[in-house]
Amino acid sequence: MELLSALPGADLGLVDADPEIRRVMADSRRVSPGDLFVALRGEKADGFDYVPEALARGAAAVVARPSPRSPVSVPWIRTAEPRRALGLLAARMEDNPAEKLVLAGVTGTNGKTTTAVLLQSLLERRFGGAGFVGTIGYRIGRRELPADRTTPDAALLQGLLGQMVREGIPAAAMEVSSHALALDRVEGCRFDLTVFTNLTRDHLDFHRDMESYYGAKRRLFDRRKPGATAVLNVADPYGRRLAGEIGGRVTTYRAASEGADLTAESVRCDLSGTSFDAVSAAGRFRVASPLLGRFNVDNLLAAGAGGLALGMAPEEIAAGLAAVRRVPGRLEPVEAGQSYAILVDYAHTEDALQRLLAAVRELTDRKIILVFGCGGDRDRGKRAPMGRIAGTLSDIPIATSDNPRSEDPEAILSEVERGLAASSATKYLRIADRRQAIQAAIDLANPGTVVVIAGKGHETTQVIGTREEPFDDRAVAAELATRR
């Protein structure tokens, strides 16, 4: 099997068999005749248990960890790292598309989506076209596919990149999550540009501690192509640490007037957008963006530093950044003819919520009515801190559900309420039903207030138990504001 040259050191059973492989798959339910099935061990299920199903559906070969349970009916490739094998095999099946693209990868806790969208705009301007892989969707030319996760599994990811190459798209911007890095989803990819935005508490249900979380993020910077640049936010302590640990070309940025290769001066943030002078050793240029919120200075600088690393002229960078009018669910205004502002944002961590509310305070002197929640089956340690931030920085916090999943929504709210009670809030509401919570916020709103709905952003579903029900904060808010 020529395909196996992608797996040096793998042990092949039935060496006299050489089937033609159509696809590489890790989901036994999607296997068709001629597919190679890769058996992955997850937290809740073991792909090894689904080998019989894959074989029944016509799998021509199997890749799995060594085991005495290996069948003898098809080629069985034994490897200690099936996840890594999946990425390498999928990349080989697609003729290694990442090597043919100008590929930019963005990692960090907050700002990944906006920075990647900005980079896609710059890549389009610099190279004539660019795809996108991230939380808000997967884009190939004019086609947009819904995203089931920030960074898809290796087989789907390589398929997306392969489609871009076949359609003549020369570049792509990708959000690279810590889960993707820890689970080898980007194996088979090397990057022309890598960006680190920041690191704050999140996903500790998966990574267990901040050191493991940082270690996962750091792996992106080992995946650079020769001569590729790492763009790092050195206002963040983990960004400074990363700058001292990795070699190769490094460009630093920070939203201050000194202390990095690219900085910001004369910053202005209001309801018309964000502007500043981007300053580097090569000179300065004015950035003017319709994106709202001071935190977008960081995102604009990150993308701008990436543009400089790719050899773009300052005027090209300024035009590319200005072309991004909005990013779905990122401080996104809802317009329904109402006399007060409604803003929807994806903030679902303590740091993101704090940055969001500080940004809104800078944009307006109106009172903030905040709708927020914490997801179920996720890091419980952030619930009380988010309640404390909400109670401290908003005027009327309303705690509600945010994808409770298998947990009792009221139990989640009780943990959030501990933080609210410990804050300086003199009034807060607890409403488990998210639609009713948004209704309550709109009922309280007037021209002297701004309604901020945080947590779900661009998402269009609400996960309750095992059900995934339609729910879009933007659509619900617009509907309720129109009715009022």
Say which residues have a Cβ less than 8 Å from residue 255's Cβ, sequence separation at least 6: 235, 263, 264, 267, 294, 297, 298, 301
Q: Whose CA is closest to 390, among 364, 365, 372?
A: 372
d(CA 110, CA 178): 12
d(CA 324, CA 430): 36
SS3 266: strand
The residue ranges of DSSP E strands in 247-340, in sequence order, are: 249-254, 262-270, 273-280, 283-289, 332-333
Chain mean position to CA 445? 31
For tokens 């619930």, name the residue: 383
Longest dimension (CA), the chain: 77
Which CA distances in Å does 347 have to 331, 343, 375?
Answer: 9, 12, 12
Output the tens digit of pLDDT for each of the chain's 484 residues: 567 677 766 666 554 567 889 999 999 999 999 999 999 998 788 998 999 999 999 999 999 988 777 666 788 888 989 999 999 999 999 999 999 999 999 999 999 999 999 999 999 999 999 999 999 999 999 999 999 899 999 999 999 999 999 999 999 999 999 999 999 999 999 999 999 999 997 877 788 899 999 999 999 999 999 999 999 999 999 999 999 999 999 999 999 989 999 999 999 999 899 999 999 998 999 999 999 999 999 999 999 999 999 999 999 999 999 999 999 999 999 999 999 999 999 999 999 999 999 999 999 999 999 999 999 999 999 999 999 999 999 999 999 999 999 999 999 999 999 999 999 998 999 999 999 999 999 999 999 999 999 999 999 999 999 999 999 999 999 999 999 8
Q: Report the 10 Å Cβ neighbour count for 379.
A: 16
Q: Residue 409 is which amino acid? A: P
Buried residues in 416-448 as b, exposed as e (16+ CB within 10 A): bbebbeebebeebbebbebbebbbbbbebbeee
Residue 399, H or E segment: strand 396-401
| Residue 337: DSSP 8-state | S
Residue 106, H or E segment: strand 102-107
d(CA 417, CA 413): 6
Domains identified in the chain and CATH numbers: 2-79 (3.40.1390.10), 97-322 (3.40.1190.10), 332-483 (3.90.190.20)
Which two three-digit tokens encode residue 355?
A: 């940055």
d(CA 237, CA 234): 7
Which two three-digit tokens encode residue 42?
A: 């997850």
